[in-house]
Amino acid sequence: MQRLRERGRTDRDDLYAVLDAGLVCHLGVVIDGTPVVLPTGYGRIDGTLFLHGSSANRALLAADGQEVCVTVTHLDGLVVARAVFHHSMNYRSAVVFGTARLVTGDAERLAALRAVTEQLVPGRWEHARLPTRKELAATAVLSLPLAEASVKIRTGPPKDDPEDYDSDIWAGVLPAALTFGDPLPDPALHAGVGTPGHIRDLAGHARAGDRYV
């Protein structure tokens, strides 16, 4: 695998596009001198990223006031080259650096949790029961400014050495996408409760940006 300078992007719209298309991020934080990477859900409001988890989660609590790293990566395809050396992936990735902060104000916490919920299932916040004070107390919310970030994107076919293009070795791209299947209703649902539209809209669709297609 190769890391190429031309894959780096500096446009802020590229950063937002990668973040808005994702569902899971990985938080890197140091706890008692040991690096820890935690997968978790997230959401974005303008220039701030919000992460959430249990209020007992050591990684989230340790991140408060600390320099952290958050990454989001999308696999868009396997790039199969004529030479093993040039095999690669089509991908979009964002790495965000900054000082994390635990969110304590109720209004900001609710706005952040709404962003996280809508990131996962658009339209869900208005449909589901909102958190109680007890549930809010059991939830930690972390904020991270999007002031410093690195975005890398690879697209297109393989790039082989000139002499290898004369060979009969197959080369190309195997596209990849996250697609949702048909909803599976909870067996405990009351009779007659139908699947809401915002759930039906996800079935059979792949994530593209901040929407499903």
SS3 16: helix
Question: Quick one: pLDDT band at residue 9, thresholds 50, 70, 90?
Answer: low
Question: Quick one: pLDDT band at residue 203, thresholds 50, 70, 90?
Answer: confident
Task: Tell me the pLDDT of the chain averaged across its residues.
Answer: 91
- The pLDDT assigned to 149 comes to 95
Question: Quick one: pLDDT band at residue 204, thresholds 50, 70, 90?
Answer: confident
Share of the chain above pLDDT 70, in %: 91
Decide if domain 5-172 falls under CATH 3.40.710.10.
no
Domain ranges of the chain: 5-172, 177-213
Inter-residue contact 119 to 212 (CB < 8 Å):
no
Residue 64 is classified by DSSP as T
Alpha-carbon torsion 143, 145, 150, 155, what sign?
Answer: positive
- The pLDDT assigned to 10 comes to 67
Find the range with the poorest average confidence among 5-9, 45-49, 115-119: 5-9
Instruction: Please work out, in degrees rounded to the nearest 5, the angle formed at the alpha carbon of residue 16 by the alpha carbons of 13 and 21.
Output: 125
Inter-residue contact 76 to 90 (CB < 8 Å):
yes
Query: Does 85 have pLDDT greater than 70?
Result: yes
What span, in angstroms and rounded, lies between the C-alpha atoms of 172 and 156? 9
Tokens of 43: 């959401």
Question: Quick one: pLDDT band at residue 202, thresholds 50, 70, 90?
Answer: confident
List the one residue out of 56, 148, 138, 68 whose CA is nearest residue 101: 68
SS3 115: helix
- The pLDDT assigned to 12 comes to 87
Q: Within 10 A of 45 (CB to CB), how many other CB atoms are there?
A: 13
> Which tens digit of pLDDT belongs to each residue from 90-149?
999 999 999 999 999 999 999 999 999 999 999 999 999 999 999 999 999 999 999 999
Cα-based distances in Å from 174 to 58, 62, 92, 112, 213: 39, 40, 15, 36, 19
> Which tens digit of pLDDT belongs to each residue from 139-195?
999 999 999 999 999 999 999 999 999 999 999 999 999 899 999 999 999 999 999
